[in-house]
A = this chain, B = another copy of it.
């Protein structure tokens, strides 16, 4: 494919190319890219704002992460934060730091992923910044969304006896990362290397193309259930559950045998000789929803597709623990996915 040096089109030329023919999905978007600020309108809702930064070599490795996937993921993880507030994402701003090795076509590929995510989730790209970077790709996204007045759900509303629920399954994205790293190591120095992903496609997809669980937010709404607290699992179940308990001033009990884990995740953990439950508790980037609902919603939660009740909230003095298969209590710790460790 033809590659165009960014310096040959300049910053404004690049911006023109990547923001051409932007669609508009939301009434709340009044004025988009092309001025000092975007103009939005939210007369009847709460406005939600969330920001995330992704750095090359820390959060992603372009050896196995295609730029289009990276763009998609960078957008979706921001949408996930807004859904985790019981909201709907409406706009994003995208700031990019671009080092000299990237061409116009590379940045177009990245943007094609961002735009695909925006299309699928109905979000408008309304602004951002594009600048040179001395060292690798930097992506910083801010997502703006809305929730009905008083309808946003934070981390701080969990109550004693509430049920703890989680969507999807856990640990697969982390196992996908281990798999991709393994194949990267195996491929070093080899030409025509074919990575072995057979039977593990789900793990790779969870790592490279995560989705935000708007379906769960919609299902809860259609059942008339408002969670008492909610968070998305980006740093691992343990860490997120501790956030909820700390903010809500509660304790919790979850049950090892109820933690949802996919078959492929289990096979991969076995292959790598890793503890499966540790991966499910502390592996990052699941982007599933962790939430609490009042006890009387038990039946509704058991019927809800893609959701599992994994435990319950307790008084704070009982602490935060997991009950293992053999009945032992293990204290939960946030050993999670900490890039600063």
**A154 touches which of B31, B47, B51, B138 (Cβ 8 Å):** B31
A316 → B minimal CB distance (Å):
18
A264 → B minimal CB distance (Å):
28
A49 in contact (CB, < 8 A): yes
Interface segment out of the listed A4-12, A18-26, A307-315? A4-12
A214-246 residues with Cβ-Cβ distance < 8 A to B are: 230-232
- A residues neighboring B (CB under 8 Å): 6-7, 10-12, 14, 30-31, 34-44, 46-53, 55-59, 81-82, 84-85, 87, 91, 93-98, 126-136, 138, 140, 142-145, 147, 152, 154-156, 230-232, 247, 334, 338-341
Q: In the complex, A87→B168 CA distance in Å?
A: 43
**A51 touches which of B132, B140, B156, B231 (Cβ 8 Å):** B140
Across the interface, name the chain B residue whose C-beta is closest to A339: B132
Residues of chain B within 8 A (CB-CB) of A95 are 51-53, 140
A136 → B minimal CB distance (Å):
7
Across the interface, name the chain B residue whose C-beta is closest to A239: B12
Q: In the complex, A14→B60 CA distance in Å?
A: 23
Residues of chain B within 8 A (CB-CB) of A138 are 53, 55, 97, 138, 140
Q: Are B36 and A231 in contact, CB atoms less than 8 angstroms apart?
A: yes
Assuming the contacts A11-B339, A46-B30, A85-B35, asked whether A131 and B51 have C-beta atoms less than 8 A apart, the reply is no
Assuming the contacts A130-B340, A142-B142, asked whether A48 and B39 have C-beta atoms less than 8 A apart, the reply is yes
Assuming the contacts A131-B339, A140-B95, asked whether A44 and B46 have C-beta atoms less than 8 A apart, the reply is no
Q: Are A154 and B35 in contact, CB atoms less than 8 angstroms apart?
A: yes
Q: Are A338 and B142 in contact, CB atoms less than 8 angstroms apart?
A: no
Q: In the complex, A57→B138 CA distance in Å?
A: 14
Q: Are A50 and B127 in contact, CB atoms less than 8 angstroms apart?
A: yes
A-B contact pairs, 19 of them (CB 8 A): A6-B340, A34-B247, A36-B81, A38-B49, A38-B50, A39-B46, A39-B47, A42-B47, A49-B142, A51-B95, A52-B95, A53-B131, A55-B131, A58-B97, A59-B131, A93-B142, A129-B140, A130-B340, A134-B135
Q: Are A49 and B10 in contact, CB atoms less than 8 angstroms apart?
A: no
Across the interface, name the chain B residue whose C-beta is closest to A98: B340
**A340 touches which of B34, B44, B81, B132 (Cβ 8 Å):** B132
**A341 touches which of B7, B38, B40 (Cβ 8 Å):** B7
Residues of chain B within 8 A (CB-CB) of A96 are 53
Q: Are A10 and B338 in contact, CB atoms less than 8 angstroms apart?
A: yes
Q: In the complex, A31→B46 CA distance in Å?
A: 10
Q: Are B140 and A37 in contact, CB atoms less than 8 angstroms apart?
A: no
**A37 touches which of B40, B48, B93, B338 (Cβ 8 Å):** B48
Assuming the contacts A96-B53, A127-B49, asked whether A58 and B132 have C-beta atoms less than 8 A apart, the reply is yes
Residues of chain B within 8 A (CB-CB) of A247 are 34-35
Across the interface, name the chain B residue whose C-beta is closest to A46: B39
A34 → B minimal CB distance (Å):
7
Assuming the contacts A58-B134, A135-B136, asked whether A47 and B47 have C-beta atoms less than 8 A apart, the reply is yes
A234 → B minimal CB distance (Å):
9
Q: In the complex, A135→B85 CA distance in Å?
A: 33
